Amino acid sequence: MDKYLERLRSGSLKLYALEQELPSDEAVRVRRAFIEEKTGTALNRVGSYTISTERVVKKNCENMIGAVQVPLGVAGPLLVNGEYAKGGFYLPLATTEGALVASVNRGCSAITHAGGAEVRIVHDGMTRAPVFAARSVPHAKEIADWVEKHRPLIAETAESTTSHGKLTDIVTTIAGTSVFVRLEFDTKDAMGMNMVTIASAKVSDLIAEATGARLIALSGNLCTDKKPAAVNTIRGRGRSVVAGVYLAPELIRDVLKTDAATLIEVNTRKNLVGSARAGALGFNAHAANVIAAMFIACGQDPAHVVEGSTAMTTVDAAGEGVYVAVTIPDLPVGTVGGGTGVDTQAECLSLLGVAGSGTPPGAHAKKLAEIIAGGVLAGELSLLGALGAQHLARAHQQLGR
């Protein structure tokens, strides 16, 4: 180790180049020792991990020095009646927020006693939207017209870059001399950002050559990736999924400790009116809490939590009870690629029966989306109940301090 540390100190060896000369675990160890030396900070716990680094340093994390552990809890069983997810599931939730797992667990109990969450995927498509510069407004219209007239050629060009992805939609948007081409793909079991980015690059070259448009950026922010955006709440992105459950009055009383009228009023005044008055894009109680915990546990990109946070929760009167539903228009998830190959995250996916590719292709990613939506529904139910019963502060005093 000493000779590598000396080379790092002298600058003759760069931190990022260690894996070119050493096995991955040894490269991580040397890099960590160098950072400890430079900062005067012991990183013994960071250096204690069980995941295999050989794949991680190539696909997931540059300049790796170790791993940060997040406590993993489990809630459930959650009964899900989806098209892809059928049966009872224990939800892996990686979080440091006390009371979250307990809250979701209570929601799971309510849903399971009610006969299960009814869940459906209503749209499926990952997007990338390159932006082009036109010479003038008429030229911008010519570019958009060319794209519309050459959809089959664009699809053929895009799909030549992948054996799995299929182009499913194209929407052009003009703003002055800027032309945005929002390309949407079926990415099967992958979340698909890398896939659609590579395909969009090939398409962008085609459009530029054919129309004289000047490609400015492969992502023009109309995708919209990792930012809350109205276009995603309206058109959908990733897996768009809806989950609902009917709760009878006695179940609301016994499990959630409140009543139907209170649930409706809390949801209306908090999730709907409060969110609207705040100018929010999400109309929910805490959907991001469950999405983040499951994303971290299951190897999803945590930055996409901001997209999932645009969910809407509705509570409708249904007889003497209520029908509670969550609509998540933008849930980018996958079961292959990205962080899904990290050992601990792969185990969590296996816990849910969705690790790797599904049969038919895409089935596992859709199943995961349905399970997460059921988990979000459980979290919403429990928090609405706690608010209605005035139990929120008490729960956090007991579990979250």
Residues that are catalytic = 97, 301, 396
Q: How many CA atoms lie within 13 A of 322 on its CB side?
A: 25
Distance CA 25, CA 23 (A): 6
Q: Is 160 exposed, middle or buried (0-12, 13-18, 19+ CB in 10 A)?
A: exposed
Residue-by-residue DSSP string for 74-114: EEEEEEEE-SS-EEEEEEEEE---TTHHHHHHHHHHHHHHT
**Dihedral sign for Cα atoms in the order 143, 144, 145, 149:** positive
Q: Residue 327: which of 265, 246, 191, 236 has the closest Cα? A: 236
**Under a CB-based contact definition with an 8 Å cutoff, are residues 117 and 79 in contact?**
yes
CA nearest to 110, candidates 243, 252, 214, 11? 252
Distance from C-alpha of 47 to C-alpha of 36, rounded to nearest angstrom: 11
CA dist 380 and 100 (Å) reads 11
Evaluate whether 372 touches 250 at the Cβ level (below 8 Å).
no
Measuring CA to CA, which residue among 235, 383, 237, 217 is closest to residue 306? 237
Burial class (CB in 10 A: 0-12, 13-18, 19+), 230: exposed
What is each CA distance from 26 to 17, 65, 69, 278, 289, in whole angstroms?
Answer: 12, 10, 20, 51, 36
